[in-house]
Amino acid sequence: MSGPAPIPFVTLDEPRYGEVVQVAPLVRRVIAENPSKFTYHGTGTYLVGEGDHVVVIDPGPIHDGHRAALTAALAGQRVSAILVTHCHADHSPLAAWLAAETGAPTVGFGPHPRLDDPDADDPITGDGSAAAGAAGDTPDGEPAGGEVKIEESTDHAFDPVHRVVDGEVAAAGPGYTLRAVHTPGHTSNHLCFAFEEQAALFTGDHIMGWSTTVIGPPDGDMRAYFDSLRKVLGRDDRTLWPTHGSPVTDTRPFLEAFLAHRLDREAQVLAAVRNGQTDIAEMVKVLYAGVREELHKPAGRSVLAHLIKLVGDGVVATDSDARPTLKAVYRAV
């Protein structure tokens, strides 16, 4: 069985850790030295605006080096707002420190919900033997390398001072307007921020230039992700600025490939069930035959996300109509 549609990933040159780099008019970036399978070279914190009107997007993780780099980058300026795309631990934790230092309000959709996970007792780590792979060497959002974890750590303490919903202005200043675009899927509270004057979109983890995005139930939702992808595809952004990796400038073909990749994977999961494969472990062996075995656990989480959607679509069911889980038995309807 062939793999899903290829995506024209964009790779980032070696990061300049500790430096603030001008990447576009009114836009600077500081990359945290927290490389991993989830973060690529590290978290890219964006600074939008100048002087007394600087907005910080995704302050990043608790990391002394990154804190020092942001302090240096913001010296002599005033932070007017701190925008957070979502509450994973590589995006939001440093917001509390920055708010205390600057007095600027935090802005986001809301806190990360606490949900019951029926698969919480499933082992989620591999043997740690995987070597770092190339960009895009992933089972649907799980970059290769290091310890094989399924979920990113979550910053449950983050609760924005100002909550914004889709379409609201999150921050504005001389030369820029940043408008919230609600893009659930990776997490239910995920926001992108549209820089209207430059037709650019800060995409957080919704769209990454170097890899597909983790959709991990129970908060990760494949149906919502499909809807959000189509929503962004329906926009007219000229540049996508992800928190991890390089900007995407040929946006429409890239987004179309992202959507096609997910649709192809969904079709493969449905075909597997219709061919009599009844459990996720069995499906993963076939669908991810070309992916290293230590990555099969996170691949199973991605298959689960697709199966939850397919059960909702009424084309797949579980035995005894049990809740879809990693250990459920599936059948075609």
- The pLDDT of residue 126: 32
The DSSP 8-state label assigned to residue 51 in this structure reads: T
Q: What angle do CA 292, 9, 187 make, to 5 degrees?
A: 75
- Reported as a pLDDT band with limits 50, 70 and 90, residue 272 is very high
What are 163's strand-pairing partners?
Answer: 108
- The pLDDT of residue 144: 35
Per-residue pLDDT tens over the stretch 78-136: 999 999 999 999 999 999 999 999 999 999 999 999 887 777 655 433 322 222 223 33
Q: What is the third-level CATH fold of 20-268?
A: Metallo-beta-lactamase; Chain A (3.60.15)
- The pLDDT of residue 4: 62
Per-residue pLDDT tens over the stretch 57-69: 999 999 999 999 9
Per-residue pLDDT tens over the stretch 274-293: 999 999 999 999 999 888 88
Per-residue pLDDT tens over the stretch 184-196: 999 999 999 999 9
Whether the model pTM is above 0.85: yes
> Is the pLDDT at 271 greater than 90, yes or no?
yes
Q: Domain coordinates of the chain in residue numbers? A: 20-268
- The pLDDT of residue 147: 35
- Reported as a pLDDT band with limits 50, 70 and 90, residue 297 is confident
Q: What φ, ψ does residue 182 adopt, rounded to 5°?
A: -75, 125
> Is the pLDDT at 2 greater than 60, yes or no?
no
> Is the pLDDT at 204 greater than 70, yes or no?
yes
Across residues 169-180, what is the average pLDDT? 98
Distance CA 10, CA 27 (A): 19
Across residues 231-235, what is the average pLDDT? 97
Give percent above pLDDT 70 in the chain. Answer: 88
The DSSP 8-state label assigned to residue 120 in this structure reads: T
Say if CB 78 and CB 105 are below 8 A apart: no
Closest CA to 46 of 9, 6, 74, 68: 74
Across residues 207-235, what is the average pLDDT? 94
Residue 99, helix vs strand vs coil: helix
Of the ranges 122-126, 130-134, 177-181, 294-298, which one carries the lowest mean pLDDT score? 130-134
Residue with the larger pLDDT of the pair 294 and 52: 52
What are 28's strand-pairing partners?
Answer: 22, 47
- The pLDDT of residue 145: 35
> Is the pLDDT at 168 greater than 60, yes or no?
yes
